[in-house]
């Protein structure tokens, strides 16, 4: 579904991604783990066009997207939940969700999706008239994920959904990620610090170090890999 071929992304003169290649198939949950500054978020930003790669190729459904503008990429079916949630603080929950469906014109389906989201996150239905800024961290993360889902993406990119959240909330969010994947068939690309948790929900995983992919395997074997254990799981 999504193919990264040797992409190199720069911030000014600093090469953040030094030739990253990846392959994501339809219906999978893929996780990308690694230390701070390894280039995980940059990979995500490159896919959705906010920081386009300088060289290499990104293919989505066989079409190159590396030179497209972010909004075009969203319209193809790639939605992103940016790091640190980034909801619209002065819009209500409902308006935030409305913004997620910005590119869609099928009102009936949008309404149905909204109901589906309120089913997934009942708390958001309760808070629908509150402004986004008044929600708790966990609720904001739920809202950010919901907003991305409102675009009805085929590929959902999640950037550290567990950031700054209590373990119980993190578990709840990960449960829902799995649920969305199995119920809607949405392909999920998960960037995470919390390697243990990420590898438990994912099918396959990539390990990133210094802008390069150093390991890729299915999640179970990564979990039992000695190097990964030492470096990222703290075991």
Q: Does 106 bind other proteins (CB under 8 A)?
A: no
Q: Does 179 bind other proteins (CB under 8 A)?
A: no
Q: Does 65 bind other proteins (CB under 8 A)?
A: no
Q: CB under 8 A: which stretch of 3-11, 18-26, 86-94, 178-186 binds other proteins? A: 86-94
Question: According to CB under 8 A, which one of 11, 37, 67, 90 is a site residue for other proteins?
Answer: 90
Question: According to CB under 8 A, which one of 15, 18, 23, 88 is a site residue for other proteins?
Answer: 88
Q: Does 82 bind other proteins (CB under 8 A)?
A: yes
Q: Does 163 bind other proteins (CB under 8 A)?
A: no
Q: Does 99 bind other proteins (CB under 8 A)?
A: yes
Q: Does 11 bind other proteins (CB under 8 A)?
A: no
What does the buried/exposed string (b/e) look like for 74-84 if buried means 16 or more CB atoms within 10 Å of the residue's CB?
beebbbbbbbe
Cα four-point dihedral sign 136, 138, 142, 144: positive
Structure tokens at 21: 């290649």
Q: Does 186 bind other proteins (CB under 8 A)?
A: no
Q: Does 79 bind other proteins (CB under 8 A)?
A: yes
Q: CB under 8 A: which stretch of 10-18, 94-102, 203-211, 222-230 binds other proteins? A: 94-102
Q: Does 123 bind other proteins (CB under 8 A)?
A: no
Question: According to CB under 8 A, which one of 4, 151, 158, 191 is a site residue for other proteins?
Answer: 151
Contacts with other proteins by CB under 8 A lie at: 48, 50, 69-71, 74-75, 79-82, 86-92, 94-95, 98-100, 102-103, 107, 110-111, 114-115, 128-129, 131, 147-148, 151
């Amino acid at each position: 579904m999504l193919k990264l071929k040797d992409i190199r992304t720069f911030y000014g003169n600093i090469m953040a991604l030094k030739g990253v290649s990846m392959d994501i198939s339809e219906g999978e949950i893929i996780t990308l783990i690694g230390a701070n500054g390894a280039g995980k978020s940059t990979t995500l930003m490159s896919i959705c066009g906010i920081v386009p790669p300088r060289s290499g190729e990104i293919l989505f459904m066989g079409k190159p997207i590396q030179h497209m503008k972010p909004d075009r990429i969203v319209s193809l079916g790639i939605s992103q939940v940016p790091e640190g949630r980034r909801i619209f603080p002065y819009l209500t929950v409902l308006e935030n969700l409305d913004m997620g469906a910005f590119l869609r014109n099928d009102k009936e389906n949008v309404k149905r999706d909204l109901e589906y989201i309120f089913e997934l996150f009942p708390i958001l239905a309760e808070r629908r008239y509150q402004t986004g800024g008044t929600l708790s961290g966990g609720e904001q993360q739920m809202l950010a994920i919901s907003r991305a889902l409102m675009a009805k993406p085929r590929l959902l990119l999640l950037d550290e959904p567990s950031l700054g959240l209590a373990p119980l909330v993190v578990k709840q969010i990960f449960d829902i990620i799995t649920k969305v994947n199995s119920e809607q068939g949405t392909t999920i690309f998960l960037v995470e610090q919390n390697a243990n948790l990420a590898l438990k929900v994912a099918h396959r995983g990539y390990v990133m170090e210094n802008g390069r992919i150093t390991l890729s395997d299915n999640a179970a074997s990564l979990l039992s890999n000695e190097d990964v254990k030492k470096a990222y799981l703290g075991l």
